Structure 1
């Protein structure tokens, strides 16, 4: 079997690829560098001459060839490689007639636990959404408790308001539901030192991305200093080498690889193995719809140190759209897909542009004095 075409499509802030073969098997992939989808598209276009005529089964070889074609690195390149990698795994599963998780070592669990991403802001909105999530069967929820004007508050007010919102959600859901607290990289390291212990009083499963991702060593240091409060990092990291540095410096107790950014399934399983060696757990990141959710499920199903999969309301909203998964959510869990490949149907013909993030790239937080606050 040989690759006959590589199609790259940008739909709003979404980017998809399809890889076609002369055997009629087509693989689907998606990238997760949502800020720059047209840049990722351009990189995939540069991959085409190499991929045409190639054997799609040589996934690991193609990964390294594409990643090392030029002496440049970064999120855009890794996202492009990730999208192709997913499509090649999809092809291999379909060609062999098995779901991809079978090719990754087989299942270690029977279903995938989900945590629902709550989109609200403030205690009133979040408590209502959390109550609905629990009633719908979710055993874990994730939310951002920081006030909207976080960049202009005194430290005491920032801590007090953030903790009050977290306490309200905990009181709403009780002690049988895990809280995942998303800080969206909005704090400085010194602010994080004050905020994280206050949140720890409510026993979150994890506190995610408290500071900017500019420095891996700084992220690791914040995690080390958050004694007694589990910290998660990694949704913006690109490869196993970055995760290795984070873990080696005593960083995250939870790692958060995004399969559409951190090298696809080929590197996702390596990141999981690295984490396992450090007794760290995996909480796969995903907020961009059904294809990446399904790709993540195959990793989740096949690794021993998975804890819970991020699930966006988009997955339900887009269930009958241009990207359709072969399984549907059952309360707070996803059953393992049984169809060959990733278990995704991709139909982009006449599809309208998607708005997966709900945020124009130029709309970033500003402080009252006009300066740029730490952005999400």
Structure 2
């Protein structure tokens, strides 16, 4: 008779002891137990270079949350909306995020759109930051806990008029990126010469030769006659995805293009709510949804968009050519979202000029370190990013004397306006 064998000692949870299942301490803020301390005391906004709009919310108990409501080229309009929101919200309980979101969205009669949703986004992100700090946990804990230990990210190459992409792709690889994105074309006519698309194919081939994958942002610059040609030309070169191959709102046209290519189609930076996203999901014409957390209602609405997209087997890749607060908030959603695939990162992006970049206002920049194409789990309470408030206030005062950022204007050889 053989002797009994020893039962296996391996326990599934042990294999994750140093990963997402590891224990995290909770250190609630002292004010969290004081009645009335969580009421909103102030709501402020700061336009800072290169083109970002930060939102600061402080509670009676002294907890500060930071948000970002950047709407590129429309900062003054968003600040006007934020002034109105601030007047309404002082005295409300910062912990009641969903009620505040619902009030701001539904009790205004006119709802949605880039300006109002961006203003709401800045406040919403700040409230999640406050709640995490009050309870002593990172925001992803409040969203159900982490489902991954790191988030995949990509960097930009090529600029507004794509050029010098080979050397820039090599530099990005050295920085730790495994994936990049670049604009597909410069300005293109409604019906242009087919040769206007040749350089796009050459650029993609050059970038892929470095050993990185590349997404191509059509940026809505191409209309149907050119978009379908370019998608066909790119097919053999297998880009990571094509982004905004047609303008927002063209759902049937996008569905037609979707049926003609195997390249993953991504879009969403100009969609601001679940209602905006819904037609694309129902039509089955996208593979990746790209809500911008600074435009799409902040963490609250972005999370809901992601949950809705999962039901359609659509991945989530937050659009984020913006500042450190929006990036941290996007990562927090990514850490807790099963269908998250990748996040945009503006470090070294072509819009970040004048010495202002993703890390300029951050006092703990190591949390955004890129390793093997990923950013590790943020573990500090709230958003996990610490900001230099003194610098933000000083820069906002300086930026107020300057013309705010506005996007370039593209015109064709006949003088007519083209899509940027």
Match of 1:27 in 2: 65
Residues in 1 aligned to 2:183 and 2:195: alpha-carbon distance in whole angstroms: 16
What is the aligned length?
A: 368
**Retained in 2: the 8 A contact 1:145–1:182?**
yes
Distance in 1 between residues matched to 2:187 and 2:251, nearest whole Å? 28
Structure of larger gyration radius: 2
Residue pairs, 1:1-376, within 5 angstroms: 1-12=38-49, 13-72=51-110, 73-120=112-159, 125-146=164-185, 148-151=186-189, 154-171=192-209, 173-174=210-211, 177-213=212-248, 215-218=249-252, 220-221=254-255, 223-314=257-348, 318=357, 320-325=359-364, 327-331=367-371, 332-346=373-387, 347=389, 348-351=392-395, 360-361=405-406, 363-375=408-420
Distance in 2 of aligned mates of 1:323 and 1:15: 15
- Shift in Å at residue 119 of structure 1? 3.6
Q: 1:219 to 1:180 in 2, by over 3 A?
A: farther
* Structure 1: 4+ residue segments shifted above 6 A: none
Q: CA deviation at 1:88?
A: 0.4
Partner SS, residue 19 of structure 1: strand
The Cα shift of 1:313 comes to: 2.3
Q: Which runs of 5+ in 2 are unaligned?
A: 1-37
CA change 1:92–1:282 in 2 (3 A) is: same
SS state at 1:167 partner: helix
**Structure 1 residue 359: deviation in Å?**
9.5
Q: Within 1, Cα distance between the matches of 2:357 and 2:405? A: 20
- Using the size of structure 2 for normalisation, the TM-score is 0.82
- Displacement after TM superposition at 1:190 (Å): 2.2
CA–CA separation in structure 2 for the residues paired with 1:319 and 1:154: 36
Structure-1-length-normalised TM-score: 0.91
Deviation at 1:49, TM superposition (A): 2.8
Contact persistence 1:216–1:245 (CA under 8 A) = no
Aligned-residue RMSD, C-alpha:
2.3
CA distance in 1, matches of 2:334, 2:273: 18
Q: Structure 2: how far apart are the matches of 1:359 and 1:211?
A: 28
The C-alpha deviation readout for 1:172-224, integer Å capped at 9, x for no partner, is x23xx3211111110002211111121121111200011222x1425642552
SS in 1 for 2:408: coil
After TM superposition, the structure 1 stretch with the greater mean CA deviation from structure 2, 97-106 or 190-199, is 190-199
CA–CA distance in structure 1, aligned partners of residues 162 and 293 of structure 2: 31
| Structure 1: gaps spanning 5 or more residues | none
SS of the equivalent of 1:15 reads strand
Output the CA distance in 2 between the equivalents of 1:165 and 1:321: 31
Residue 237 of structure 1 contacts residue 262 of structure 1 at CA under 8 Å; is this kept in 2?
yes
Instruction: Indicate if the aligned counterparts of 1:40 and 1:80 stay in contact, CA closer than 8 A.
Output: yes
Instruction: Give the Cα separation in 1 of the matches to 2:203 and 2:99.
Output: 48
Query: Matches of 2:46 and 2:330 in 1, distance apart?
Result: 21
